[in-house]
Amino acid sequence: MRLLAVDPGASSGWALFAERTLVRAGVARPVARFEGVRDIAIEIPQYYPDQKKDVPIQDLISLALIAGRWLGAHPDAAVRAYFPKDWKAQTPKAIGNQRTLGELSEAECAVIEYPRDAKGRTDVLDAIGIGLVHLGRLRRGLV
């Protein structure tokens, strides 16, 4: 199995797994195409009407369009879409990133292509986290 996990955005985090092992991860602006992808685990935006911070609907629509572009780049792959609450629950980013890295082997950590900016680093770690939850290596909330 070759799984592509994606955290879509203007800089999309992506993680490529062979069987259950992370083999490559990085950031694409906004989409990349990979050969041999059989499955995609991708975060899709969700509107939360009760949230304290108001997210413009247009931003969610833009994210959905980018997610669609990822799926269009891999038309033969089976898709599993995750709302943020489905894979990370309410876990703060710093804790989620720590848990994600804690699940990886040294060899897996070595294949991560980190961008220079902090936001991009979080994007790639989110994509890895989505993949780890999808594969059952971590549970919802990244535990």
CATH code for position 73: 3.30.420.10
> Is residue 16 situated within a structural domain?
yes
**HEC sequence for 44-92:** CCCCCCCCCCCCCHHHHHHHHHHHHHHHHHCCCCEEEEECHHHHCCCCC
In a domain, 39, yes or no: yes
**pLDDT attached to residue 48:** 75
Q: Looking at residue 54, what is its pLDDT? A: 72
Q: How many domains, in total, are found in the chain?
A: 1
pLDDT score, position 52 = 63
* CB distance 16 to 53 below 8 Å: no
Given this model, what pLDDT does residue 143 score?
84
The answer as to whether 86 is a domain residue is yes
Per the domain annotation, does 143 fall within a domain? no
Closest CA to 26 of 6, 43, 41, 45: 6
Residue 86: which domain range? 2-135
Give the other-Cβ count within 10 Å of 14's Cβ: 27
Q: pTM of the predicted model, to two decimals?
A: 0.93
Query: pLDDT of 91-136, one tens digit each?
Result: 998 999 999 999 999 999 999 999 988 888 999 999 999 999 999 9
* Residue 5 near residue 128 (C-beta atoms within 8 A): yes
Q: What is the pLDDT of residue 18?
A: 97
Is 132:101 a contact under the CB 8 Å cutoff? no
| pLDDT at 73 (0 to 100) | 96
- Specify if 56 maps to a domain: yes
The pLDDT value given to residue 27: 96
- Indicate whether 141 belongs to any domain: no
- Residues 119-133, buried b or exposed e (16+ Cβ, 10 A)? ebbbbbbbbbbbbbb
Q: What is the pLDDT of residues 19-74, one digit of tens each?
A: 999 999 999 988 999 999 999 999 998 877 776 667 788 888 999 999 999 999 99
Q: How far apart are CA 143 and CA 133, in angstroms?
A: 9
Contact predicate 130/42, CB 8 Å? yes
- Asked whether residue 75 carries a pLDDT value surpassing 90, the answer given is yes
